[in-house]
């Protein structure tokens, strides 16, 4: 969070980018293996010498491996493209001088608009809300802005669970800058 001349700017970045790249590259390589095994079983020939696919019949094993290999290649390639293009990253800018809140996020690179920009009046903001959802395997933490017309806009989604004190500190800094209350 950066405050300068009545302007508060929060950068939104993917802190788990290296981990996401590693997972998607692993899926990509596994998919190449599945696709190669499926094609090898169809041709009844080992395309890669150290992978023995002689005993795999094309129907149903080879066909299934070809399907999942192709699907994995498509999904992992798409995910890597999203990571590379920084889709979803951006910033939140609270400008007291202009009285505006600008939410800017990078869009998918091949869209007509390279960025998504949402603008709201600071006067329409009623409160800051902290939202925490605990599931068995997933914890979702968010800081939301509550507008006067009962609209809640997420401005910060936390992938990695934060200590509740850290989340509250982030929300309280924002609330004190805007001079509005915090809801839970």
Contacts of 131 (CB under 8 A, 6+ apart): 140, 141, 142, 143, 144
Is the Cβ–Cβ distance between 95 and 7 less than 8 Å? yes
What total number of domains does the chain contain? 2
- The verdict on 31 and 65 lying in the same domain is yes
**Angle in degrees, 0-180, between the axes of helices 17-43 and 63-84, rounded to the nearest 10:** 150
Q: Average model confidence (pLDDT) for the chain?
A: 89
The answer on 121 and 177 residing in a single domain is yes
Q: Is residue 13 part of a domain?
A: no
Residue 115 sits in the same domain as residue 78: no
Considering the domain architecture, whether residues 67 and 119 belong to the same structural domain is answered as: no
Q: What DSSP string runs through 144-183? A: EEEETTS-EEEEEEESSPPPHHHHHHHHHHHHHHHT--EE
Tens digit of pLDDT at every position of the chain (184 positions): 677 778 999 998 888 899 999 999 999 999 999 999 999 999 888 888 887 777 888 889 999 999 999 999 999 999 999 999 999 899 999 999 999 999 999 988 777 778 889 999 999 999 999 988 887 777 788 899 999 988 999 998 777 767 778 888 888 999 999 999 998 7
Residue 64 lies in a domain: yes
Q: Does residue 9 fall inside a structural domain?
A: no
For residue 95, being part of any structural domain is answered with no
The sign of the dihedral angle between the CA atoms of 16, 132, 119, 117 is positive
8 A C-beta contact, residue 34 and residue 9: no
Domain coverage including residue 54: 19-84
Residues 117 and 178 in one domain: yes
Please check whether residue 59 lies inside any domain of the structure: yes
In a domain, 98, yes or no: no
Give the residues across from 60 on adjacent strands.
none
**Final residue in a domain of this structure, among 35, 56, 84:** 84
Q: pTM for this one?
A: 0.78
């Amino acid at each position: 969070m950066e405050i300068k001349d009545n302007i508060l700017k929060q950068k939104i970045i993917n802190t788990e980018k290296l981990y996401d790249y590693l997972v998607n590259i692993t899926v990509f390589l596994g998919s190449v293996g599945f696709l190669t095994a499926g094609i090898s079983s169809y041709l009844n020939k080992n395309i890669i010498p150290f992978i023995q696919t002689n005993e795999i019949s094309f129907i149903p094993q080879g066909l299934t491996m070809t399907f999942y290999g192709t699907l994995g290649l498509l999904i992992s390639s798409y995910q890597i493209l999203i990571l590379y293009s920084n889709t979803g990253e951006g910033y939140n800018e609270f400008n007291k001088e202009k009285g505006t809140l600008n939410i800017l996020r990078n869009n998918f690179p091949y869209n007509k608009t390279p960025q998504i920009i949402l603008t709201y009046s600071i006067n329409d903001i009623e409160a800051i809300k902290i939202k925490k959802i605990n599931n068995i395997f997933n914890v979702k933490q968010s800081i939301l802005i509550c507008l006067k017309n009962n609209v809640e806009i997420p401005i910060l989604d936390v992938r990695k669970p934060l200590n509740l004190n850290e989340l509250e500190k982030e929300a309280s800094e924002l609330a004190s800058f805007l001079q509005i209350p915090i809801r839970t």
